[in-house]
């Protein structure tokens, strides 16, 4: 895989939205302002900024939910960065159908809580946000 192949870019993301599957809410001026506020609040991985520039939130076919940027900011205010050794900062940005939190780390990898908690162990779920969006369960 090339260096940028797993990274998220707006063109790929727009095409992904058009392929269907799940429910996608496109980005709006309000969600762009919420993304800017999130960036001001804490450093966020560039893939998350790209995601929120194209879409505000999504519900994937397997029940995972990508939270809107205002929710991510609220989760950060409540929980701070998620403690995943060597992966700081890691921000909560999604939830599985079972209620397990998902965090995107500074490396671009996506981690899933092993229980419906934000303080327990997180296991690697996807090597990138792009791979996270492509998971078919």
Contact present, 97 and 63 (Cβ < 8 Å)? yes
> Largest alpha-carbon pair distance within the chain?
37
Which value, to the nearest 10 degrees, does the dihedral of the CA atoms of residues 48, 39, 31, 115 take? Answer: 50
CA–CA distance, 39 with 62 (Å, rounded to integer): 29
81-93 pLDDT, tens digit per residue, is 888 888 888 999 9
In this prediction the pTM is 0.89
Choice among 5-9, 95-99, 103-107 with the minimum mean pLDDT = 5-9
Tally of CB atoms within 10 A around 34: 20
4-60 pLDDT, tens digit per residue, is 456 789 999 999 999 877 899 999 999 999 999 999 998 888 899 999 999 999 999
Residue with the bigger pLDDT between 136 and 36: it is: 36
CA–CA distance, 10 with 4 (Å, rounded to integer): 13
Contact present, 102 and 96 (Cβ < 8 Å)? yes
CA–CA distance, 133 with 126 (Å, rounded to integer): 9
């Amino acid at each position: 895989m090339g260096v940028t192949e797993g990274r998220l870019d707006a063109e790929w993301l727009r095409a992904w939205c058009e392929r269907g599957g799940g429910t996608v809410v496109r980005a709006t001026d309000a969600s762009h302002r919420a993304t800017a506020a999130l960036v001001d609040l804490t450093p966020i991985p560039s893939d998350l900024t790209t995601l929120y520039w194209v879409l505000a939130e999504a519900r994937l076919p397997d029940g995972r939910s990508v939270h809107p940027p205002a929710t991510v900011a609220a989760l950060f205010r409540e929980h701070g960065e998620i403690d995943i050794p060597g992966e700081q900062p890691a921000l909560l940005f999604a939830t599985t159908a079972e209620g397990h939190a998902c965090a995107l780390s500074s490396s671009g990898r996506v981690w899933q809580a092993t229980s419906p908690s934000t303080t327990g162990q997180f296991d690697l779920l996807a090597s990138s946000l792009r791979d996270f969006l492509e998971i078919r369960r």
